[in-house]
Structure 1
Amino acid sequence: SLHASMISTYYFSDLTGLSVTVVSAAEFPYSLLESVETGTVVIAVSQSGETADVITSVKMAKQRGAVVIGITNNVGSRLALESNVYLPIGAGPEIAVPATKTFVSTLAGILMLASYTGIYTGKLTTSEYKEIVNSIKDLASRVKDLIPDYDSKISKLAQELHEYRSMYIAASGITYPVALEAALKLKEAALVHAEGLQLGELRHGPLALSTLGFPIILLEPVEDAAKPLFFKVLREIENKRHAKVYAVEIMASTDHVMVNLPLVSRHLYPMIAVIPFQLLAYHVGVVKGLPVDTPPGLAKTVVA
């Protein structure tokens, strides 16, 4: 939910002109609570709607006069009950502990919320909002057609990557949070120590730690301004000659492509870019013989 919320800052900035501050629910009481006053809008995101840190932060914010919008996949949850308004993402039951479809559905819900808000801030027209909603629906159909190809390619890659205990995943722009989410999924489902990084930050220390054959996955940014950095980092890794680089690309323009993503709008790109990484975490976990649906030491909801 935190990584989906990080992507929301791009949505709200682009579509509403509003500045949104994202913070972990666990840190909210220590960092932003004092700035909450009557009329402050707090958007609380929790797929289960039962996470203890989220519920505690929501109650604290309401005591200070905040208006709470809850985004959850559980309409009967405590978050839904505590919110002034709640938005169900409607992903259906997700039995596995690692969140996959609920992550993508949360992004869709936040994008629709930001787009609709943009009508009232004067950034969007009603017809533009409807176009965004229709583009989300169209993306769902495209994803259904793409998954078999992704699954085939990623399952083969998993045979190569399952022996590694660590790896880097780097991205920039609106997909930087996707790199963080991808690393989390690999930790949860495959027990791989994966680290999500911003492309520029990869050059400041982490790259120096890479050893012979160390896997680094780069996610091509959708923003034109960020593409030069993507190719610059790619060349630097190639020049080191010991790290093994893989790329998730929009157009198969390098020799390192592992999955080729379709060209979609900036706001839809995170929803489709995260899927290959979800599949990678799943297949690496399966190859390693791990219980990917119920990873050891993890619970679907932390309620205390």
Structure 2
Amino acid sequence: MCGITAFRGPSAATRAHEALARLEYRGYDSAGIAARRSDGTAVHVRTLSGVAALVMGLERDPDATTAAIGHTRWATHGGVSERNAHPLEDCGGRLYVVHNGIIENADVLRERLRSAGHRLATDVDTEVVVHLLEEAVSVGLDLGRALADTAALMEGSWAVVVLDTRTGALAGTAHGSPLILADTGDGVYLASDVGAVAPFVSAFRVLEDDDVVDIDAEGTRWHRAGGSRRPRGLWPVPAISLLASSGRHTDHMGNEIDEQPIVARRVLDALSPGIRDGALWNRLGLPPLENVDRVAVLGCGTSLHAGRALAGVFARAGHLPTRALTASEAGHEVWEPRTLVVAMSQSGETADVLRALDGLPSGHATVLALTNNTASSLARRADAVIDCLAGPEIGVAATKTFVAQVLTGACVALSGLWSSPRADAATLEADFTALAGTPDALSGALHAWRDRAAELAGDLVTASGFLFLGRGAGLVYAAEGALKLKELSYRWAEPHAAGELKHGPLALVDAGTPVFVVDDGDPRLDVDIAEVQARAGRVIRVGERSLRVGGLELQLPRRGPSWGPLESVIPLQLFARELALRLERNVDKPRNLAKSVTVA
């Protein structure tokens, strides 16, 4: 989503720009920097051409700057234009503000400010923040107090950083949107994501809701409206946050697809030793499963698909009632007592997921956060948290984080089920064996499908749309394959339960229609495939129950693990990427999408 960086110290504009470049992967449509030069003058640069283009506007000795703020914007309120790009300035050009989130009462505040004579020059909700700050500073409040008083007038969610170019001070606050602080020894960073500053610091502090931080010549001070506070505790920067994928591809997504067997091995090496003795489950402090009446997985997009695969483990191996909830619709749900909620979010900052947790009745549920960011808002709000260990994922469309979430969730579920009286012992043993073979299965799928996916993409580059079919555990992977194709190629792609084909979707099939079928070993798929072929549709079957290793073809069991045919996601990812490249799409930054969706 939108990215915030700020730095107070030497070469501030350069440092803020370097950090901002590390947030480009989140997806954005405009970018900007404002800085104070050592002579007291200000520089303000905004662009629609990418973070690198900001350097042109900073050519006048950016190393002479003492404080700076930067932003990458993903438009919500107001169109994509340079005038709507952050940072935004006050009437006098003294204060500059960057903001992530949504100010829900912006229209009311805007009218009040106009009546008071302020010049509002943009269409964005953020602009009210800088003019409210202007009023507060004009009556003598210091920057931190002015920011606290301004935040008290706002409704919605925000991470806000303000720069006073007269004094060189920075101040930041957060409410329902992430913001961190990190001290380098020669200066101080603020950022919306630890990834922005991971190479430059070893630890960071997280602003909780309504914290306010002042950074000026006297140092750094933490407080809230109405009283002072001590600084928050330090979080170490995880070593895994520096393990960005590298490889033979020029795009990040290709390298991240290739990395998935390595990610799978990392997850299993860390977590599988704690399965058989239940140590992993117990270490998380989760209740015994005999005290759980239902498991509910909660997520959005790819994380929801991973959650549905995880729900299959609890249902098939543990005979537990489960349901998968789209987070943005969870406000309509009736929650049963004794529910275990597994909240899935790669970033841990997904606003729809956090809002869904707000709707949980008190005392009704235990929340386990499954995330790639253990210092995130979700992780801090949950009763327990597990790191999916994917490492940084630069491609906006998730690939390796999906595999990591499925396998991490499966390890946790199996650990909890191992001593549960309701679990099926034979299924647990089969699943445990399947876990060990997953890295090789993923590697085999990469080897078998790399060239074939490229050939298929060449054959189908003019296809206007695609169907994805599956049954049982395979349906999750059909849905994920369709999502990847939509995200990357901008072609329509519809997932359906294969048995539903004859109840309507078959009308979409005519001569040459591409139909991907995820094979999880269900023999009824042969009938579904015959229905497509009878209409001259083109069937592409993935997840075949064989694996070629070292020149030998190994027949896999017809019945796959409880989480389904995970290796089938590889050909679907490969095909989506190859088709998108042939259509000259940017596979790392699909249009209109963002990595960390911090608005609901």
**Contact preservation (8 Å) 2:310, 2:563:** no
Instruction: For residue 173 of structure 1, give the secondary structure of its aligned residue in structure 2.
Output: coil
Structure 2 residue aligned with 1:69: 368
**Higher percent of residues as strand:** 2
TM-score, structure 2 as length reference: 0.45
Structure 1 residue aligned with 2:497: 198
Structure 1 residue aligned with 2:325: 23
**Contact preservation (8 Å) 1:115, 1:124:** no
Cα deviation, 1:169-219, whole Å, max 9, x if unaligned, reads 101010111111111000001112000011111122211232332111222
**Contact preservation (8 Å) 1:171, 1:199:** yes
What amino acid is the match of 1:105? A
**Contact preservation (8 Å) 1:42, 1:61:** no
Cα deviation, 1:12-58, whole Å, max 9, x if unaligned, reads 012222111211111111123xx254x43211111111100111122
Cα deviation, 1:45-93, whole Å, max 9, x if unaligned, reads 1111110011112233264542211001111211111111001110111
Q: Who wins on radius of gyration, i.e. which is larger? A: 2
Structure 1 residue aligned with 2:592: 297
What amino acid is the match of 1:167? F
What amino acid is the match of 1:247? R
Percent identity, aligned pairs only, is 29
What amino acid is the match of 1:245? V
| Cα distance, 1:130–1:95 mapped onto 2, change above 3 Å | farther
How many angstroms does 1:128 deviate by?
Answer: 8.2
What amino acid is the match of 2:329? E
Structure 2 residue aligned with 1:113: 412
The worse-fitting range, judged by mean Cα deviation, of 183-192 and 55-64 is 55-64
How many angstroms does 1:104 deviate by?
Answer: 1.1
| Cα distance, 1:297–1:261 mapped onto 2, change above 3 Å | farther
What amino acid is the match of 1:60? G
**Higher percent of residues as helix:** 1
Structure 2 residue aligned with 1:277: 572
Aligned with residue 383 of structure 2, among 52, 60, 84: 84
The worse-fitting range, judged by mean Cα deviation, of 279-288 and 130-139 is 130-139
**Contact preservation (8 Å) 1:219, 1:247:** yes
| Cα distance, 1:46–1:148 mapped onto 2, change above 3 Å | same
Instruction: For residue 75 of structure 1, give the secondary structure of its aligned residue in structure 2.
Output: coil
Alignment of 1:165-180 (within 5 A): 165-180=464-479
Instruction: Indicate whether 1:8 and 2:310 are aligned.
Output: yes
| Cα distance, 1:65–1:111 mapped onto 2, change above 3 Å | same
Instruction: For residue 561 of structure 2, give the secondary structure of its aligned residue in structure 1.
Output: coil
Structure 1 residue aligned with 2:530: 235
RCO comparison, higher one (Cα < 8 Å, 6+):
1
TM-score, structure 1 as length reference: 0.87
Structure 1 residue aligned with 2:150: none
Structure 1 residue aligned with 2:255: none
Structure 1 residue aligned with 2:16: none
Whole-Å Cα distance in 2 between the matches of residues 116 and 133 of structure 1? 10
Whole-Å Cα distance in 1 between the matches of residues 556 and 498 of structure 2? 20
The worse-fitting range, judged by mean Cα deviation, of 5-14 and 117-126 is 117-126
How many angstroms does 1:109 deviate by?
Answer: 1.4
How many angstroms does 1:136 deviate by?
Answer: 2.2
**Contact preservation (8 Å) 1:261, 1:273:** no
| Cα distance, 1:131–1:75 mapped onto 2, change above 3 Å | farther
Unaligned runs of 5+ in 1: 253-259
**Contact preservation (8 Å) 1:167, 1:215:** yes
Alignment of 1:199-238 (within 5 A): 199-222=498-521, 226-227=522-523, 229-238=524-533
Whole-Å Cα distance in 2 between the matches of residues 81 and 261 of structure 1? 45
What is the count of residue pairs matched by the alignment? 289
What amino acid is the match of 2:381? E
Whole-Å Cα distance in 2 between the matches of residues 126 and 234 of structure 1? 34
Structure 2 residue aligned with 1:153: 452
Structure 2 residue aligned with 1:263: 556
Cα deviation, 1:247-288, whole Å, max 9, x if unaligned, reads 225258xxxxxxx99625333643111111011111111111
Aligned with residue 247 of structure 1, among 527, 538, 541: 541
What amino acid is the match of 1:7? A
Instruction: For residue 419 of structure 2, give the secondary structure of its aligned residue in structure 1.
Output: helix
Aligned with residue 51 of structure 1, among 311, 334, 350: 350
| Cα distance, 1:286–1:131 mapped onto 2, change above 3 Å | same
What amino acid is the match of 1:69? L
Q: CA RMSD in A?
A: 2.5
Whole-Å Cα distance in 1 between the matches of residues 436 and 587 of structure 2? 29
| Cα distance, 1:47–1:130 mapped onto 2, change above 3 Å | farther
Alignment of 1:127-146 (within 5 A): 132-133=431-432, 135-146=434-445
What amino acid is the match of 1:206? P
**Contact preservation (8 Å) 1:16, 1:117:** no
Unaligned runs of 5+ in 2: 1-302, 547-552
The worse-fitting range, judged by mean Cα deviation, of 13-22 and 62-71 is 62-71
**Contact preservation (8 Å) 1:36, 1:64:** no
Instruction: For residue 97 of structure 1, give the secondary structure of its aligned residue in structure 2.
Output: coil
Whole-Å Cα distance in 1 between the matches of residues 368 and 445 of structure 2? 33
Whole-Å Cα distance in 2 between the matches of residues 82 and 120 of structure 1? 28
Whole-Å Cα distance in 2 between the matches of residues 130 and 290 of structure 1? 44
What amino acid is the match of 1:108? L
Whole-Å Cα distance in 1 between the matches of residues 468 and 357 of structure 2? 32
What amino acid is the match of 1:31? E
